[in-house]
Structure 1
Amino acid sequence: MTEYVSTTPGLYPLPDWAKDDLSDLKGHQKHDLISGDEGEEITAAYEEAREEVIGVQEEAGLDRIVEGQLRWDDMLAHPLAVHDAVETRGIVRYYDNNNFYREPVVQDDLGFSGDVANELEATAELTDGDLQAVLPGPYSLSDLATDEQYGDEAEFLGAIADFLEGEVDAFPEIETLFLLEPSLVENVPEDGQDERASEAIDQVASATDADVVVQPYWGALEEKVYAHLLDADIDAVGFDFVANQDDNLYNIQEYGATDDVALGLADGQNTLVEDPEAIRDRTEWVEGQLGVTEFETVYLTTNTETFYLPYSKYQEKLAVLAEAADLAEVTAA
């Protein structure tokens, strides 16, 4: 019987109090931030905010607990933006929306960082729930970065994959790893590059015994990209059914799917809060469209990060996902 798991792709909005406090603190410590030192007060504020969002997830009843990525001011570029081998430069538009990040320019060989592992270690101390790690996928991270060290697109993607593999290898025990790959949709890899992207994802996924979910979003993967992605040794592909139902269904019907699947059925950017019954019904609809296909695990999630939402709406979305998974379990039984 299918197991339904409620989770999110992470990248949560800051609690309202933390936005105000951190804005003031960062304004006073601008020089320290440029040099990479967040300072004790900023660190303490992030720690308090992390504890709060973990509590929100537990209260909602989510099946997987994420750290929240509240320090990730540069969004998916964060693991590079805080790396010693990287210089952050001007502000760059994050794909085609109104969020921005500092351009990470790789100027030296990418060695081990441990930044995300440290966040996960802190999270593990705060919860007894099943832990889920969140990382940018290697293709998206290479797409968002600028290379001034390796000099070759394929070599740079390989270096990013090596870097992420090392980071994952340092993680504490986790149940699930979400690799976020919006660039697979937004900046479609060309012939040859699509196969290398799949190989890079496979390399990162192989660094953990946890279940690995690759979640593209803001649309559907092109057919060749999807077919190559299925060659990677991953447990699930995520589908953004908010942005594109038809093409995502076509990919599954035409090329098959992994044994597990992540369904992005709640809108991570829209303040309208769905009913749990509606999410359960959409889940049944997707499964019905696929006929005989039955997944071992179905992850019910928002289609994108919830960073864009007001804090109260993000809290409501989490509760909806948890209840929808419970309803799906009951219906399936």
Structure 2
Amino acid sequence: MTELVSTTPGLYPLPDWAKQDLSDLKGHQKHDLISGDEGTDIVNAYDRGREEVVSEQVDAGLDRIVEGQLRWDDMLAHPLTVHENVETGGIVRYYDNNNFYRDPQVRGDLTFSGDVAAELETTANHLGDESLQAVLPGPYSLSDLATDEHYGDDAAFLDAIGEFLAGEVEAFPEHETLFLLEPSLVFSPPEEDIDARVPEAISAVADATDANVVVHTYWGALEEKVYAHLMDADVDALGFDFVAGDRDQTLYNINEYGTKNDIALGLVDGQNTLVEDPETVRERVEWTLDRVQSQTFDTAYVTTNTELFYLPENRAMEKLAAVAAAAETETEVKA
């Protein structure tokens, strides 16, 4: 029997009121932002937004609650773009998704930052007995989105990113789950010179926490060789995008090479405004687990395939409710 756990990969859309408020505040405090000081008004606005998205997740009934990452203007690159030894270059487009972000250029050692840990501490104070889920970019995706001007080669840079993220995780408050988001493994697979090093970098991050670690991949299916290497990572679960790309390839990888004891099922569209009803999501869960012939799972995380940033706030919250309800229909399903 497989326990269903409802969650998301985080990175939520800003609440509607916050879009205009923060735009006005950042315009007035442009110099402070360049110098790294967000200012009290901006900090307060993000705090209010964080409380709102945390409360919405609790109200929806999600089993794992994320911080929401409302400050992550540069999405997965955020842990680098706020680092003192990283300069933000020009505007670039990630993953051909028509969203544009700044290019983080690493110019010095990736020393401890504590930025994400501080966000999670604030979130933990709001939660009470609810289960916190931390979210970070995986080391390969973060290295793929950055420009190395310091470490000298791809292997050294990947190792440095893994060590940096591990140090950040060590400062996190107690959390039940850690989602490492690795869309670059699908969108721009690693070259042969570093593909075998990717699971080592991921394992270094996972080893820094006692929480259950999920490596969530999306924007399509993993190439067979990439998947085989990823299976060497010391994590509790791999996550798969069953909305975009070739589902047959994903199921082939799982059935051919096996997978971890737990699995994350990206079954709700994180980019389409059409809201799936809980019954549809539940049917997708059962359909997918029925086609995994190689094993059964202790836990299946039911989630959107991608971050929810791309949706209007109201649609994102409706999808939260659908995911939560689908996992609550029954406590367990046969797999």
Is TM > 0.5 for Structure 1 vs Structure 2? yes
Distance 2:333 2:296 in 1: 14
Secondary structure of the structure 2 residue equivalent to 1:258 = coil
In the TM superposition, residue 215 of structure 1 has moved relative to its aligned partner by 0.6
User: Match for 2:131: what amino acid?
Assistant: D
CA displacement, residues 51-74 of structure 1 (integer Å, 9 cap, x when unaligned): 000000000000000000000000
Secondary structure of the structure 1 residue equivalent to 2:272 = coil
Secondary structure of the structure 2 residue equivalent to 1:112 = coil
Do structure 1's residue 235 and structure 2's residue 236 form an aligned pair? yes
Distance 1:287 1:330 in 2: 12
Count of residue correspondences: 333
Distance 1:3 1:234 in 2: 18
Do structure 1's residue 50 and structure 2's residue 45 form an aligned pair? no
CA displacement, residues 167-197 of structure 1 (integer Å, 9 cap, x when unaligned): 0011010000000000001111122421111
Give the one of 284, 294, 297 matched to 2:299: 297
Q: Which residue of 2 aligns with 1:221?
A: 222
Q: Which residue of 1 aligns with 2:59?
A: 59
Cα 1:261–1:331 shift into 2, 3 Å: closer
User: Match for 2:175: what amino acid?
Assistant: I
User: Match for 2:87: what amino acid?
Assistant: E
Distance 2:89 2:38 in 1: 18
Q: Which residue of 1 aligns with 2:177?
A: 176
User: Match for 1:83: what amino acid?
Assistant: H
Distance 1:259 1:331 in 2: 15
Do structure 1's residue 120 and structure 2's residue 100 form an aligned pair? no
Contact 1:132 1:177 in 2 (8 A): yes
CA displacement, residues 6-65 of structure 1 (integer Å, 9 cap, x when unaligned): 000000000000011001101111111111110000000000000000000000000000
In the TM superposition, residue 331 of structure 1 has moved relative to its aligned partner by 5.1
Do structure 1's residue 186 and structure 2's residue 187 form an aligned pair? yes
User: Match for 1:222: what amino acid?
Assistant: E
Instruction: State percent identity of aligned pairs.
Output: 70
Contact 1:13 1:311 in 2 (8 A): yes
Distance 1:109 1:291 in 2: 46
Q: Which residue of 2 aligns with 1:270?
A: 272
Greater shift, 261-270 or 89-98, is seen at 89-98
Secondary structure of the structure 1 residue equivalent to 2:199 = helix
Q: What's the TM-score once normalised by structure 1's chain length?
A: 0.98
Q: Which residue of 2 aligns with 1:26?
A: 26
Contact 2:2 2:333 in 1 (8 A): no
Distance 2:100 2:206 in 1: 28
Contact 1:57 1:318 in 2 (8 A): yes
Distance 2:332 2:159 in 1: 44
User: Match for 1:47: what amino acid?
Assistant: D
Q: Which residue of 1 aligns with 2:206?
A: 205
User: Match for 1:17: what amino acid?
Assistant: W
Distance 2:118 2:295 in 1: 39
Do structure 1's residue 323 and structure 2's residue 325 form an aligned pair? yes
CA displacement, residues 97-137 of structure 1 (integer Å, 9 cap, x when unaligned): 11111110000111000000000000000002100000000
Q: Which residue of 2 aligns with 1:258?
A: 260
CA displacement, residues 286-319 of structure 1 (integer Å, 9 cap, x when unaligned): 1111236210000000000000000000000000
In the TM superposition, residue 81 of structure 1 has moved relative to its aligned partner by 0.2
Distance 1:93 1:171 in 2: 30
Cα 1:250–1:292 shift into 2, 3 Å: closer
Cα 1:29–1:5 shift into 2, 3 Å: same
Distance 1:331 1:225 in 2: 30
Distance 2:204 2:131 in 1: 24
Secondary structure of the structure 2 residue equivalent to 1:87 = strand
In the TM superposition, residue 321 of structure 1 has moved relative to its aligned partner by 0.3
CA displacement, residues 257-290 of structure 1 (integer Å, 9 cap, x when unaligned): 1000000000000000001011111111111112
Q: What's the TM-score once normalised by structure 2's chain length?
A: 0.98
Unpaired stretches in structure 1, ≥5 consecutive residues: none
Structure 1 segments of 4+ aligned residues over 6 angstroms from their partners: none
Secondary structure of the structure 2 residue equivalent to 1:261 = strand
Contact 1:287 1:293 in 2 (8 A): no
Secondary structure of the structure 2 residue equivalent to 1:194 = coil
In the TM superposition, residue 325 of structure 1 has moved relative to its aligned partner by 0.3
Unpaired stretches in structure 2, ≥5 consecutive residues: none
